Amino acid sequence: MNADEWNAVTTSEHLSIGLRATAISLALNIALGVVKLVCGMVGHSYALVADAVESLGDVVSGVIVRAGLVIAARPADSNHPYGHGKAEPLAALTVSIMLLAAATTIAVHAVDEIRMPHRGPAPYTLVVLIVVVFIKESMYRYEARVSRAARSTAVLCDAWHHRSDAITSAAAALGILIALVGGPGYETADDWAALLACCIIMANGLLLARASVHELMDTAPAESLLEVVAEAALAVEGALAVEKVLIRKAGPHYLVDMHLEVDPLLPVRDGHAIAHKVKDAIISRQLGVTDVLIHVEPHELCSRTM
């Protein structure tokens, strides 16, 4: 589904698609987490056990993402006149913090394993990790595609949990391969691999947290979106100039505040009608804008020629 097709569906359909993606994510994380935990403990691979812990932790983050999607889809009410869209970046920030915490925990345990002699990993743990890398990277691509279409930070965070799992699994596979090929003296290779993967996961967690904070702080969107909104307004007959455009993101949608200039000699009723046409024109562009608040002002040049 491309961005235009996504914009054409209703909010309930947005929610349905997002929940479907997270449901698949939850089921996979539970199944893979259990498999990796059992194989890691039996096969003496701490990197695989650490990978399993992250997958099972992703189950909790997946539940948080689902809750964020459900709450964000609720309509505006008297207590939340601008809707509940901020629930999504809040969920995303929580998941980002959990990602950082998981990486830190795994790193601490990896250091402990490096300092303590232990048996090398079993060969079959390498096969398990190769399969996991393929599945996790596939899930990342699927959820990333959904998150781009839905403009959902929460779903993107969940997608990055899959990629971080793929990264740790790939690093663990490399470490296990080195340990198997190197033999005695190389038992800690998978622990070093787990430590390296944690650094990559922390970097991604910080990037995702920053994106969530930007949305919560109502950071302005890309300049291109501001330009398209202004162009849509000026295409309406009677709209003479756009003095100001402010846009903020609320979950998967955008809210627009605009100062629109019209002929000062027009009756209030006509200026109001132009503002309504501008609002409809912007929403019809399928940019993800769900509401436009317009402040009508007299056009300066028209005022000077009166």
Q: What is the CATH number of the domain that holds 261?
A: 3.30.70.1350
Q: Are 178 and 234 within one domain?
A: no
pLDDT of residue 121 exceeding 80, the answer is no
Q: Averaging pLDDT over each range in 79-93, 103-117, 148-162, 188-202, which range is the top one?
A: 79-93
Q: Are 231 and 161 within one domain?
A: no
Domain boundary among 201, 216, 231: 216
Q: Are 75 and 185 within one domain?
A: yes
Q: Are 53 and 149 within one domain?
A: yes
User: Domain with 159 in it: what CATH number?
Assistant: 1.20.1510.10
Residues 6+ apart with CB under 8 A from 264: 298, 299, 302, 303, 306
Q: Are 116 and 172 within one domain?
A: yes
Domain that holds residue 261: 223-304
pLDDT (average), residues 152-169: 76
65-151-244 Cα angle (round to 5): 130
Residue scoring higher pLDDT (55 or 77): 77
pLDDT of residue 25 exceeding 80, the answer is no
> For residue 275, what pLDDT is reported?
93
Mean per-residue pLDDT over the chain, rounded: 79
Residue scoring higher pLDDT (127 or 241): 241
pLDDT band at 13 (very low <50, low <70, confident <90, very high): low
Residues 6+ apart with CB under 8 A from 146: 17, 18, 21, 152, 155, 159
pLDDT of residue 100 exceeding 70, the answer is yes
Q: Are 74 and 117 within one domain?
A: yes
Q: Are 109 and 75 within one domain?
A: yes
Q: Are 189 and 248 within one domain?
A: no
Q: Are 209 and 241 within one domain?
A: no
Domain boundary among 192, 216, 240: 216
The count of structural domains within the chain is 2
**How far apart (Å, rounded) are the C-alpha atoms in residues 244 and 261?**
10
pLDDT of residue 5 exceeding 50, the answer is no
Instruction: Give the CA distances from residue 15 to residues 85, 179, 216, in Å, rounded to whole numbers and listed in that order.
Output: 12, 46, 20
For 165-214, how does the pLDDT look when each residue is reduced to its tens digit (9 = 90+)? Answer: 787 778 778 877 887 787 777 767 777 877 877 787 788 788 878 888 88
> For residue 47, what pLDDT is reported?
64
pLDDT of residue 118 exceeding 80, the answer is no
